Structure 1
C-alpha cells in the first residue's frame, strides 16, 4: 500500500529488510518510476525501470492493485485474450510433441500456478494445440507487449502478494527462455532480443471463467514454443 502512494526517495530510508526493499522498489518500477540510479541493483538482475515493451503494455492496464483512500482496494482484471478484437477462426495443426524437463516450462508453470504449461518443438500454434479445447478455435497473434500485463498479474499468487511478485516471476521465465548467462547486463540484453523476435498466439476457450490465460510463446531462434492455459474464478 505504501509503495503505491509514495515515491522511492521518501520510502527508502524507512525500509529495512532487503526482501521488503526489493518488493517496494519493483512496485514503484511497475508504476513507472525509474530507480536505475536511486536503488540498489536487483539480486536477479531485474531492471529497475520498465523496458520499452513493458511501458507499452501498461496501456492495456496496470497490474498494480489500487488502494482506496476510504479503505479497500481494486485492480483491473487482465486476461488473455481480453476480447475477440483482432481474433478470427483458426484451425490449429496437430499438437507438437512435448519436450519434458525444460527450465522455461517450470518457470512458466510457477508464473501461473493455476494454469497448465507445456513445451513443444515447432511454431506457437503447435504448442497451443496441446492445450486448446479443439482444433478449431478463435485466436490470433499479438505483440508480447500486449500480453505482458496479464502475465504479470498471473504471477500474483494470492491477494497477499502484490504485482512485484508477478514481474519478478515473469523475468525469471524470460531469462530461462532466452538462455541468458548469469550476468546482469547479458541477461537484460538477451531478454530484450528474445522479446523482439518472439511470436505470441492467443485463443479463446468456451469454458473460460472470469480469470483466464491462453497464450503460446514461440522463439524462432530455437524452434521451441511454450504454451500456458487455464482459467479460474477470482
Structure 2
C-alpha cells in the first residue's frame, strides 16, 4: 500500500504537507491492523513512518506514537524500518525539543536514553529513569566508542549506517595464553546472585553462551572457549583489556536487529552490571565500583561469525567471573 503510493507520498513530503502524511500513515496502519494484525501493519507502514520520523517537524513527528488517531493507528516501540521509528526521531532533535511533546512513557524513556548515547546530559533536564539508569554517560561508557558509532546514522529516504562492533575486533594487544582446566559452574551461597547475573548477561546476546565460575576470568573463558579444545591444547590468542573497550560491543550486541535500538542495549547492559554487582538493580554507585575493579579477558576463536563476542568478566572483590561467548552470521 505504502510502496504503491510512494511517489505521491514523497511529493507531499517535498511540499511539507506533513499533516496529510500523518493522516495517511494512521489510516493505513489502522486498516492493516484490522486486516492482518500488528506485525503486518507495522511492516507495511514502516517506510512512511521512517519518512515522518526523519523529516517532519518534531511537533508532528512525535504524533506517530500518540493514540489519538484511534485503534491501531499509533506506532509502537517495536515499529521499525531500518531501525525503530523512535530512534530515528531521537537522532533528529534534541531532548529540549522533544521532551514537551512526547507522550507514551515507553517511547519517552527510549528517546531519552538515545539522546544520552548521543552525548546529551539529561541529569537535570528529564524525569529520573524508573530503574535508576543514569541519564548521562559514565566515563567508561563514553571512552571506547568510535566517533558516531553509538547510534545508527539514519538516511532520509530509508536505510541506516551502523558500525559492526565485535569482541575481539582483531589481534592487536593479544598473545598466546594457556587457559586453565575448566572449572565447574558456580554453586553454593553465591549461586542465586550468579544465576541472576548470568541470565542478565545472556540477554545481551541470545546467540552466545553465558556461564559463571568461582575464580579468575581465564577460568570462566575455559568453560566456553572452543579454540582451547583444538590441536594446541588449552592455548588461545587472548589478553586483558579495559572495560571501556568491552562496553561498546556489549551494548551493540543487545541492540542487534532492526526492531531494537542502542537505548535497548544501554539499558540491558546496566541491568546486567547491576546484577553482577549484587545490587538488585542498576545502582549507579555499585555499577561504577564494579567497573572500576573488573578485569576483562577476551580471546579469538578460529571460526567466528560476522558478529561475535568472546569475553570473560571477573569481579576480584567477590572472586567470581562470568563469560559470554558466541557468534552468528548476519
Q: Normalising TM by the smaller chain, what interval?
A: over 0.9
Correspondent of 1:114 among 192, 196, 207: 207
| Bigger proportion of residues as strand | 1
Q: Tell which has more relative contact order, 1 or 2 (C-alpha 8 A, sep 6+).
A: 1
1:112 shift after superposition: 1.0
Correspondent of 1:222 among 313, 318, 327: 318
Moved more, 199-208 or 149-158: 149-158
Aligned to 1:129: 222
Aligned residue runs from structure 1 range 45-84, under 5 A: 45-59=132-146, 62-84=149-171
Correspondent of 1:193 among 266, 289, 295: 289
Contact 2:118 2:150 in 1 (8 A): no
Deviations 1:38-80 (A, max 9, x none): 1110000000000011111224762311102343101100000
1:158 shift after superposition: 1.9
Contact 1:213 1:229 in 2 (8 A): yes
CA distance in 2, matches of 1:109, 1:146: 19
CA distance in 1, matches of 2:123, 2:273: 20
Query: Which of structures 1 and 2 has the bigger CA Rg?
Result: 2
Aligned to 1:204: 300
1:94 shift after superposition: 0.8
- TM-align CA RMSD: 1.4
* Number of corresponding residues: 231
Find the residue that maps to 1:212 and give its secondary structure. strand
Structure 1: give runs of 5+ residues left out of the alignment.
Answer: none
Aligned to 1:178: 277
Contact 2:255 2:264 in 1 (8 A): yes
Q: Alpha carbons of 1:60 and 1:233: their partners in 2 closer, same or farther (altered >3 Å)?
A: farther
CA distance in 1, matches of 2:172, 2:166: 13
Q: Alpha carbons of 1:151 and 1:61: their partners in 2 closer, same or farther (altered >3 Å)?
A: farther
| Bigger proportion of residues as helix | 2
Contact 1:66 1:75 in 2 (8 A): yes
In the superposition, the TM-score normalised over structure 2's length comes to: 0.68
Q: Is 1:163 equivalent to 2:163 in the alignment?
A: no
Question: Which of structure 1's runs of 4+ aligned residues deviate more than 2 A?
Answer: 58-63
